[in-house]
Chain A
Amino acid sequence: MIKFENVGKVYPNGFEGLKDINLEIDQGEFVAIIGLSGAGKSTLIRTINRMHDVTSGKLTVDGVDVMSLSGKTLRRFRRKIGMIFQSFNLITRTTVIKNVLTAFVPDMPWYRSVFGIYTKEEKIKALECLDKVGILDKAFVRADQLSGGQQQRVALARTLAQNPQIILADEPVAALDPVTANQVMGDFKRINEDMNITILINIHHIDLALKYAKRVIGIREGKIVFDGPAQGTQWDEVLDNIYVGEASREGNIQEEG
Chain B
Amino acid sequence: MNLTFYDKIFKPKEYVLPNGKKAYKKASRAPIYVILVLAMCALSVKITGFDMEVLVSRIGQFFVILGEMFPPNTDYMPKIWEPLFDTIKMSLLGSVVGALLSVPFAMLASTNVCPSKIVVSVMRVMFSLIRTLPTIVIALVATLVFGLGTLAGTVAIAVFSFGYIGKLTYEEIETVDMGAFEAMQAMGATRSEAFISAIIPQVLPFYLSNCLFNFEGNVRYAAVLGYVGAGGIGLILNEKISWREYPSVGMILLALFVTVFIIESVSRMLRKKLV
Contact = CB atoms under 8 A, between A and B. Distances in A.
B201 A85 contact: no
A103 B266 CA distance: 38
B197 A88 contact: no
A155 B186 contact: no
A211 interface: no
B181 to A, nearest CB: 8
Interface in A86-118: 87-94, 98, 102-103, 105-106, 110, 113-114
* B contacts with A: majority SS: helix
Interface range on chain B (Cβ under 8 Å from partner): 20 to 34
B159 interface: no
A79 B179 CA distance: 18
Contacts of A75: 188-190
A93 B201 contact: yes
Contacts of A79: 187-188
A91 B202 contact: yes
A162 B198 CA distance: 16
Contacts of A42: none
Contacts of B179: 85, 87-90
Contacts of B193: 105-106, 110, 113
Contact of A91 (B187, B188, B198): B198
Interface string B181-224: 01111111110110011100110010000000000000000000
A81 B218 CA distance: 49
A179 interface: no
Interface residues of A, number: 32
B197 A105 contact: yes
Contacts of A81: 186
A82 B187 contact: yes
A106 B196 contact: no
B254 interface: no
A77 interface: yes
A77 B186 CA distance: 10
B180 interface: yes
B198 A114 contact: no
Contacts of A93: 201-202, 205
A78 interface: yes
A105 B180 contact: no
Contacts of B184: 102, 105
Contacts of A159: 187
6 contacts: A75-B188, A85-B183, A90-B179, A91-B197, A102-B180, A106-B189
Given A75-B188, A113-B196, 19 more contacts: A74-B188, A75-B189, A77-B188, A78-B186, A79-B187, A83-B183, A83-B186, A89-B180, A91-B197, A91-B202, A98-B201, A102-B184, A102-B189, A103-B187, A105-B189, A105-B193, A105-B196, A106-B188, A114-B196
Interface of B: 177, 179-180, 182-190, 192-193, 196-198, 201-202, 205
